[in-house]
Amino acid sequence: DAGVTQSPTHLIKTRGQHVTLRCSPISGHKSVSWYQQVLGQGPQFIFQYYEKEERGRGNFPDRFSARQFPNYSSELNVNALLLGDSALYLCASSFTGGRRDGYTFGSGTRLTVV
Amino acid sequence: GQQLNQSPQSMFIQEGEDVSMNCTSSSIFNTWLWYKQEPGEGPVLLIALYKAGELTSNGRLTAQFGITRKDSFLNISASIPSDVGIYFCAGQLLTGTASKLTFGTGTRLQVTL
């Protein structure tokens, strides 16, 4: 079975540009969460989606948005990129996001803003 | 954003030694999780703890959910070179229908032969 797949694996963007990151969860998983991991730190929660609805949002500006599609895949969008948005963006999938579901992370998308 | 206090920050040990790391929080969590992350990869779940006082093992790894629900520790026995990586604790908080993980600052483990 395929794990959590994220694309692209790396990309470089210029300040002010827009970026879209994509995530396909494990087959059968209906919840997707997004995390930002800045170099040298632990991941920080951005969004959680379940059955196409936003269930939770972390302390990130409105430049960050996401959505989940009927096939449970998800996109994370970031507008007006800043240098500080450079990070590894991780997607995690679980059955429902509930307490005993467990989260499986993808390998991430490394975003560099120049 | 909030990060849990994890210590030590880094460890350099010899193969065969035991390792202990811990994580503390000012908040209560429903679940404690321990992850390992290697370069270029996402975190991989090692152990999940679901109730206060719970002690769980996974091979050479043992972890405990603190009685106060605000702390957890992870022990690795008889370390081997493939244990190298960054270890993160994470607390899971369920609020209504929302679920989020709050991660620790990480413990970087180096194992020498």
Do B105 and A42 count as a contact with CB atoms less than 8 A apart? yes
Judge contact between B29 and B93, C-beta under 8 A: yes
Whether chain A has a CB inside 8 Å of the CB on B5: the answer is: no
Read off the pLDDT of residues A29-57 as tens digits, 9 standing for 90 and up: 999 999 999 999 999 999 999 999 999 99
Mean predicted confidence (pLDDT) in B80-94: 95
Is the confidence at residue B59, as pLDDT, over 80? Answer: yes
Q: Determine the Cα angle at A85 with ends B38 and A53, to 5°.
A: 85
pLDDT at B86: 98
Whether chain B has a CB inside 8 Å of the CB on A100: the answer is: yes
Mean predicted confidence (pLDDT) in B49-68: 96
Mean predicted confidence (pLDDT) in A93-114: 89
Is the confidence at residue A6, as pLDDT, over 90? Answer: yes
Whether chain B has a CB inside 8 Å of the CB on A97: the answer is: yes
Read off the pLDDT of residues A70-97 as tens digits, 9 standing for 90 and up: 999 999 999 999 999 999 999 999 987 7
Helix, strand counts (H, E) of chain B: 0, 11
Residue type, B45: L
Mean predicted confidence (pLDDT) in B92-111: 91
Do A99 and B31 count as a contact with CB atoms less than 8 A apart? yes
pLDDT at B98: 84
User: How many Å apart are CA B102 and CA B23, to the nearest integer?
Assistant: 11
- Length of chain A equals 114
Report percent pLDDT > 70 for chain B: 99
Judge contact between A32 and B76, C-beta under 8 A: no
Mean pLDDT of chain A: 94
Do B42 and A105 count as a contact with CB atoms less than 8 A apart? yes
Is the confidence at residue A100, as pLDDT, over 90? Answer: no
In A47-76, the residues whose Cβ lies within 8 Å of chain B are 48, 50, 55-56, 58-59
- Could you tell me if residue B9 is left (phi over 0), alpha (psi between -120 and 50 degrees) or otherwise beta? alpha
N-term to C-term CA, chain A: 37
Do B94 and A106 count as a contact with CB atoms less than 8 A apart? no
Return the exposure string of A1-17: e unless at least 16 CB atoms fall within 10 Å of the residue's CB, then b: eeebbbeeeeeebeeee
- Length of chain B equals 113
Report percent pLDDT > 90 for chain A: 90
pLDDT at A46: 97
- Substitution target in A37, A60, A110 with the highest count of B β-carbons within 10 Å is A37
User: How many Å apart are CA B20 and CA B14, to the nearest integer?
Assistant: 14
H runs (alpha helix) in chain B: none
Whether chain A has a CB inside 8 Å of the CB on B56: the answer is: no
Mean predicted confidence (pLDDT) in B29-34: 93
User: How many Å apart are CA A78 and CA B78, to the nearest integer?
Assistant: 44
